Structure 1
Amino acid sequence: MRFAALLLASFAAQQALAAGPPVDFEILTDPGLPVTASQEWYQALTKLGVTGLRIRSGGGEPGIDNRGTAEKPSYKVTGVLTADNTLHVPGGKFGPRDSGKLRKWLDKLGDRGAEGVTQRPVAFGLTPSELQRVSEDLMQPVGSSTRGRGALAVAGAIAQRLQIPFVLEDGAKRALADVKVVEEMKELSCGTALAAVLRPAGLVLVPEHPRGGELTYYVGRPRPGREVWPVGWKPEGRAADRLPALFDMLNVEIRETPVADAAVAISGRLEVPILYDYNAMALHGVDPTTTEAEVPAKRMSYSRVLARVLHQAGLEYQLRVDEADKPFLWITTLKPAP
């Protein structure tokens, strides 16, 4: 299936989602609660669409029980109404005038389940389990050759390997059609590769869970203040532990060799993929294919050779890892990009 068709289908599926799972409510009242409070809360919750509402006296703790399945949840919420007329539920407490806040709580419960109302969002506004699901999905290897192929075809091949659906911004398909992938990313994970493929087209990858929708990958233009999925991650620990060969010594002499060719030769010896920050290079007018590297005969580490070669073109390397913790070299400009 073509990439655009995949995205269109997933978007249509998202729009067709039901309003939300059913929510039954049982409220346990504390002694001393005003007589009229129970009736007021019954009317307020009924207006919010709560079904199976039951209010009774008795002790207990707030809780949420999913009596359905993960795919088709049906929640029973136990709330405690204290003597000060405050309704306590997991992850929140509400007064008689907080119907708007309670509506948001119910919506979040329907969208995200119990975790959504009891745990703080982490990266990308996702719950911990959603972020774990995204990480595991994007951890899969690309598995097919990318070098020399169009970015739209590569992105489509990656999309077919992933479980979470896509939403494509208007114009994104056209932007991808104008880009060709230069590097081989077959052995990298899908998240890092897809972020790298989208970047030269001016696009970003954003995992998100919009209200009333489902967990999706958004592909579109970056927006100020919005997190985007990065091209790899800074590894934990020392670089020497992640890529020991980078610090092996060798006798080297490089003359009249394009910087790009020298970098590819070094990455080949290190058996590690190499990716370029084309956006930063275009911004600063850097072209490693036209700048020649010169390194006099000397014995030094691969790390020093690579740094010296790249510096002559106004570049530097960063050791990064993909979602599966596989190291690769990210080549970017010495001058930072905005």
Structure 2
Amino acid sequence: MSLLTIALDVMGGDNPPSIILSGAISALQTYPQLQLIICGDALTINRVLAEVKPSFAKRITVLHCQEVISMSDKPSFVLRRKKDASMRRAIECVATGKADACVSAGNTGALFALASYILKTLPGIDRPALVSALPTLGKEKVWLLDLGANVNNDAETLLQNAVMGSVLANKVEHIPRPRVALLNVGEENIKGNAQIKAANDLLKQSSNIHYIGYVEGHDIFANKADVVVTDGFTGNVALKSSEGLLKLMLSEVKRVSNQSLKNRILAAIALPLLKRIFLKMKPDQYNGASLIGLQGIVVKSHGNATGHAFFHAIKQAIDEVEQQVPETIRTTIESIMLE
């Protein structure tokens, strides 16, 4: 069992570092091959780690950082000014080879800007994409991308997103030939704007992707595809709309439960199930959302992540390291460029 190292930014999220560190300790308990570089204020971190078992503590390196990137910091300001921020130092650990991946619950825009600047994109990839797995009918998952890293994607970028999503589904979910679909306003070939139609033509020509054509919004969760590709604007709207619908359902179940004893009994059965589904619909809180297409592995956890949620983000990073996701994306893109 080979060792692997994950760098953690424990200062950037909404919750205190102690919450994030509880998830980190859980990861050390689960993965004996794991070592951690914890980036942040050393005094705060060491105060929490004082309670950690010596066997775990020896697998942790604390990297003191004097600055923190807030949720309101603009990416341009972060790039210019915050050279000793915990998020930046965690990404630099990946760039220098000290860590195999990094995980942060901090500012998404800053993470995207810093990771793109420091790690650079893989050859053949124009822009990184934000991607995560969502639940579908049955026990299957669907990888949806882009979730908001780029609001405008041309046809070539959509093709690249298809490759990256296909690699993730293959390597992380072990699907031999992932079904890749393009999100559109209809399944007919005449539907869609110019960039969607152009991407459709490119995908049909690629022998490296099992492309099945268009799907509509209601098909995302219907287990029709293993990967659904779209631009960041549409992907983010689709994700947030789904979250909003589940919130409405939870609220309505609670409201009607007060109308009768029968409704209260039914609500007691339905609410736990709906809450589990809701958590799965928040991918950056449930498993972490990956910023793929970079020359390194970066996973974004929810800003308000619990320790359990941060553990899942670390697990996502470990899976990508063990399956060598960036390298597989690079070789697949190279194969497509040679077609």
TM range (shorter): under 0.3
* Higher RCO structure, 1 or 2 (CA under 8 Å, sep 6+): 2
Q: TM-score, normalised by structure 1?
A: 0.22
Structure with bigger helix share is 2
Structure with bigger strand share is 1
- Please identify the structure whose Cα radius of gyration is greater: 1
